[in-house]
Amino acid sequence: MPTPPTFEELTAWAGAGRVVRAPAHAVADWRLPAPQKAALTDPGVPLFAELVHHAAFTATPVMYRLAVYDDRDEGNRVRWDYGAVPGSGEVLEWPADGRPTRFVNSSVRHWLCTLHLVGGWLRGSAAIGRWDEDEEAEERALEEIDDLLRRIGALDPAAIGDGHHDTQFWPAVLGRWLY
């Protein structure tokens, strides 16, 4: 099981006030392993526009809601919840539009580590912000995304799975930034 980043490491790229810690009482009765619940209270969940709009530590009959992505772009609305499965702690994407759930990460701790990898990469990448300027910039951005997917796969192989954009969350999400 990976060790999640610290609150300070998340704040370094997410920014002050952009890491939300779950109140201990909010997750106390959740049927998750203690280390996964602890990771929600410290370090917490980083917020960043590209993937996590707000934290939401609530229980539903089928999941423990961790966070929400809610984007309205040119009249289109894309929304999903990140939720942990009671018992296993696997993190799934729960789309609001009725599409089937999709596996995200093997545990809450894997999810937080992956968010740290992706968020840190987004803040530090010179290529992703200018990928469409020329062919060289696009190639560099694709190389960075491939490297990031390899790093996520080394951390949590199930998060990459077969690598197909239509069935795997991380390949789909990372690929959308270019197209």
- Residue-wise pLDDT for 22-59, tens only, equals 999 999 999 999 999 999 999 999 998 889 999 999 99
Residue 111 identity: W
End-to-end CA distance of the chain: 33
| CA distance to 25, 31, 114, per residue, from 82 (Å) | 20, 16, 13
Residue 126 identity: A
Taking the CB of residue 142, how many other CB atoms lie within 10 A of it? 14
Tens of pLDDT, residues 51-100 = 999 999 999 989 999 999 988 765 667 788 999 999 999 999 998 888 89
For residues 160 and 169, the answer to whether their CB atoms sit within 8 Å is no
Q: Is the pLDDT of residue 179 over 60?
A: no
From the list 1, 9, 16, the residue with the least C-alpha distance to 119 is 9
Query: Hey, where are the domains in the chain?
Result: 7-176
